[in-house]
Amino acid sequence: MLVLSRENIEQIYTMKDCLEDVEHVFREHMLGNVTTPVRTAIDHPKYGATSLYMPSYLETDDYVAVKIISIFPENHKHDIKALQSVIVLTEAKTGQHVAMMDASLLTIMRTGASSGVATKYLAKENAKSCAVLGCGAQSIGQIQAVMEVRPLTNIYLYNRTREKAAEMKQALLSLYPEWQGEIAVMNDANEAVANAEIVICSTKATSPLFDGTHLRPGTHINAIGAFLPHMQEVDLTTVQNSKVVVDTLEGAQHEAGDLLIPIERGEWSFEQMHAELGDILIGNKPGRENEEEITLYKSVGVAYLDTAVAKTVYERAKANGMGTEISL
């Protein structure tokens, strides 16, 4: 078994690579070449945390993987990362477990790439401004992916704790030293949204982050933080006024609080949903159709993204002689 660290992965895998893998596997899913049970979520009320177990099989590529991810928001008190994850990759022809790799970075990258692909097909072609609500671990991957598909000139950062938004600003300036755009730390989420053509929601909120009446015509929203039925980042106004696209219908029906909460109140239904993202990628449904419509991509995450990125990372690591071989 090949063991791959975060440092190994950073040397051989980029956001551009990830965008290609994610777009490819979304198409494979729609063509029926992927088997992915709904993930198992185990809550830890004692710690306000969640563990997720996410298996998937890619038939065309002959790989199976399971990702185990822990999300412990209070870990910062102990100077431990809030999001920790590992992927075990299995070669499906023989059942050999060929790799185990750190998945914290890959989770950030593939979640960002999912939004990046959605942005590619749903945001306005000339969208140049982006509001980021929530500046935690996931937000950097979201911004990196959007930067790959749209020529951003302005980024507006909002976080409940302003200091964290300021830290994100410095991280972005270090990551993109030659970028000529501007980054502003905002005191108000509504003000951030009102300035943006793309909005990223990346929090663990249980109530809406902004008032949907502040959205500009033509805005695209990536809502990726609320991954359990009781969580909610966008309000009813946003949902009702948007063309809603989800990563998978099955996942959204089980976990997307942004949609399930309005459904429980009789204010929205999945019949009003426009499409799964894969429907757009294979041409079954249109993406953005005009400059005025508001589009909402609701993602709760799906395991086949992890299998797709793990496969590429493993094969590239093998080809470059990277990682540590162990026998179990």
Q: What's the pLDDT tens digit per position in 216-273?
A: 999 999 999 988 899 999 999 999 999 999 999 999 999 999 999 999 999 999 999 9
Q: What pLDDT score was predicted for residue 227?
A: 86
Token pair 């951003």 is found at: 152
Q: Report pLDDT digits (tens) over 60-116.
A: 999 999 999 998 988 888 899 888 899 999 999 999 999 999 999 999 999 999 999
Q: Are residues 74 and 102 in the same domain?
A: yes
Do 311 and 174 sit in the same domain of this protein? no
What mean pLDDT do residues 165-179 have?
A: 96
The answer as to whether 201 is a domain residue is yes
Considering the domain architecture, whether residues 172 and 279 belong to the same structural domain is answered as yes
Strand 182-185 to strand 220-223: parallel, antiparallel, or no bridges (unpaired)? unpaired
42 by Cβ neighbours in 10 Å (0-12 / 13-18 / 19+) ranks as: exposed
- Compute the mean pLDDT over every residue in the chain, rounded to the nearest whole number: 96
Among 24, 44, 28, CA closest to 36: 28
Whether 62 is covered by a domain: the verdict is: yes
Are both 82 and 142 inside the same structural domain?
no
Assigned domain for 112 exists: no
Nearest residue to 15 (alpha-carbon basis) of 98, 101, 119? 119
Residue 194 lies in a domain: yes
> Quick one: 41 and 146 in the same domain?
no
**CATH number assigned to the domain comprising residue 316:** 3.30.1780.10
E runs forming strands in the chain = 2-4, 34-35, 40-44, 49-58, 63-71, 83-91, 96-102, 129-133, 154-158, 182-185, 198-201, 220-223, 242-246, 275-276, 294-298, 324-325
Q: Pull the structure tokens for residue 43.
A: 């809550």
In a domain, 114, yes or no: no
Within 13 Å and on the Cβ side, how many CA atoms surround 255?
A: 23
Instruction: Clarify whether residues 15 and 88 are in a common domain.
Output: yes
218 shares its domain with 270: yes
Tell me the residue ranges of DSSP E strands in 176-236: 182-185, 198-201, 220-223
278 and 143 part of one domain: yes
Report the amino acid identity of residue 255: E
Residue 24 confidence (pLDDT): 97
Is the domain of 308 the same as that of 295? Answer: no
Tell me, yes or no, whether 61 lies in a domain: yes
Q: Are 211 and 272 within one domain?
A: yes
Identify the domain containing residue 153 by its residue range: 121-301
Q: How many domains does one find in the chain?
A: 2
Q: Are residues 154 and 222 in the same domain?
A: yes
Give the mean pLDDT of 292-307.
96
Is 111 among the domain residues? no
- Tell me if 283 is assigned to some domain: yes
Q: Write phi, then psi, for 253 (nearest 5 degrees).
A: -65, -25
Which tokens hold the place of 15? 């956001």
pLDDT value at residue 102? 96
Asked if residue 289 has pLDDT above 90, the reply is: yes
The reply to whether 99 and 125 lie within a common domain is: no
- Report the distance separating Cα 261 and Cα 265, nearest Å: 7
